Chains A and B, each alone.
Chain A
Amino acid sequence: MRAPGLGQLFRWRHARPLLQLPLLIVSVVMILHGLFGPTLAPKNLATTLSWLHFRGVLVLVLLGAGNFFCLACPFMLVRQMARRFFKPRFNWPRRLRNKWISVALFVLILFTYELFDLWSSPWWTAWLIIAYFVTVLVVDGFFKHASFCKFVCPIGQFNFVASTLSPFEVKVRKPDVCVTCHTKDCIRGRRAPVSDLVTIRGCELALFQPSKAGNMDCTFCLDCVHACPHDNIGILSRMPGDELLTDPLRSGIGYFSRRKDLAALAVVFTFGALLNAFGMVSPVYAVERWLGKMLHLSHEAPVLGLVFTFFLILEPVVLLGLAAWWMRMSAGSQRSLLPLVVRYTYGLVPIGFGMWLAHYGFHFLTGLYTVIPVSQSALANLGWPILGEPRWTLTGLPSNLVQVIEIGFLLLGFAGSLVVTHGLAEEDSPGRPLRAFVPWATVCLVLWMASMWLVFQPMEMRATLMSG
């Protein structure tokens, strides 16, 4: 935030709405085009912008910067406007202050994406965006603070996990300054002297800056930056993935090693990456046909349910359970299986992120320019051909070049997971780190090989035949 221009922008109290407004306009355009525009996905802004550009830019920004998409979230702009009229009255129930609801929603979105082929339907994509707006308004209409962001939003949870690998973090510049601070504005908010009314909001996700560690649960909203009277909080650079190596008591989160829900989120993030990619390659149809035939099932939903159960439950239980058992046997770890699994699951996040980067990056880069003819066509259909005739031959980068980039992402993720799991092993078993490391390195190798296999499979995208 000392960078000229950018620093001043982010320190400005209205930076967030300034970034949110264009995305809100784009969201509205996507909804309208999805509902009323062409029914063919490649010709519609809802599907093009959601499934190509949004996903691709999201993962690249998370890799190269941080959780700036949560900063610019259009859903929060609408929520903030609504809160001028409707003040939430309730606190989020204590028993639900965990990630289980958001994990379930994350899985549900992945499932409905495959079952209803959302990527091929502008209409359903538009309704998904509308449903998101409605859910935000309902949840944050009833519950205080950023309950939707912290406990519900599936996109937010994806961003939180991925941003553990981002090179920037919102954090304190000089810890000594916080020691002498008595007002704790970063979490309590800046308050008016007499009335004690909050004039500048503090962190709505309960992250107290002096004991905040890492990007988990941080939406980069910069409320803490604006509230801090000492200008002691900034967006600072750091080593990506560092926060996965340590297990301090984190403000608003607790210990990673004791959060089974967070570990479950990391499992869905990692294994869901392979699952989501698997859903787009030829072998998945052979698997579905085989399962349907074996079990005499003719509808896709139960067959898909089995595939999901395998990828998100059976496979992680077997791989992670075996690795934990192996580690106990070989390195003599005294921890029982479940705590070991919970601890080392976070080590798989880099390889999961590598797969998301490879997959979403592929669609984004090979379809990079398609937003141009789709926009040209949308305006022309409205009677405003100001951008000229649609150039439908514009696509993106050649797929053979993009495949090299995909492999690079996967290698980066593999290397990241090896570094993190090695670091955890060194801490757990300082006398025999290699024996503790090998089981988890094996899991990383299996996942990496599966990812590499996926990248080389022929893509085959089937949808229910569109009726228009």
Chain B
Amino acid sequence: MSVYVFSRSPASPLFFVTGCSRPIDSSPAVTVEHKISPEPPQIGPATVLLKLADPAAKPISGARITLEADMSHAGMAPVFEEASETEPGQYQARLKFAMAGDWVILLHVRLPGGQSLERQFNVGSVRPN
């Protein structure tokens, strides 16, 4: 599974973070795409949209997803939120970025069949308000 993140251009007015999350477990067969708004990300509330699909690109419904948002520096409190399914295979969670800087979002996913998987993606340069 390829991992891609749109590269950031400092001059670009749009910082659009979307892409595939990186697997950190041994089950790469499930694809997890993510999108964060607002763009560019800033301190305060943010909406994370997730799409889960199986190898045949069929949406995976009924998964339980917990998001954990950590900063890149030790000592900062992680933020935990549960995602809710808005459409088959599409999930949404609201996070709050408490500080500017680089964040890492960990996805703890429990699939309908009971299988667990972990994913990770980076949210770079959350800006001050």
Contact = CB atoms under 8 A, between A and B. Distances in A.
Is B one of A's binding partners?
A: yes
Nearest to A458: B128
Contacts of B22: 468
Contact of B122 (A289, A392, A460, A466): A466
Contact of B101 (A42, A48, A462): A462
Interface string A24-56: 000000000000000011111001100110000
Contact of A120 (B24, B72, B99): B72
B100 A282 contact: yes
B101 A461 contact: yes
**Of residues A40, A51, A367, which shows the largest number of chain B Cβ atoms within 10 Å of its Cβ?**
A40
B72 A52 contact: no
Contacts of A52: 74-75
B104 interface: yes
A395 B72 contact: no
B74 A370 contact: yes
B102 A459 contact: no
Interface residues of A, number: 32
A120 B75 CA distance: 11
B100 A459 contact: yes
Contact of B74 (A44, A289, A459): A44
B6 to A, nearest CB: 12
A278 interface: no
Interface in B83-129: 99-102, 104, 106, 120, 122, 124-125, 128
Given A392-B80, A460-B99, A462-B101, A51 B73 contact: yes
Contact of B75 (A42, A289, A392, A462): A42
B36 to A, nearest CB: 14
A460 B74 contact: no
A248 B31 CA distance: 71
A44 B71 CA distance: 13
B75 A48 contact: yes
B102 A465 contact: yes
A156 B73 CA distance: 25
Contacts of B106: 40
Interface of B: 5, 10, 22, 24, 68, 70-78, 80, 99-102, 104, 106, 120, 122, 124-125, 128
29 contacts: A41-B73, A48-B74, A51-B73, A52-B74, A120-B73, A289-B10, A363-B73, A367-B74, A392-B68, A393-B77, A393-B78, A393-B80, A395-B75, A395-B76, A396-B75, A458-B99, A458-B128, A459-B99, A460-B99, A460-B100, A460-B128, A461-B71, A461-B99, A462-B124, A463-B72, A463-B102, A465-B102, A465-B124, A468-B22
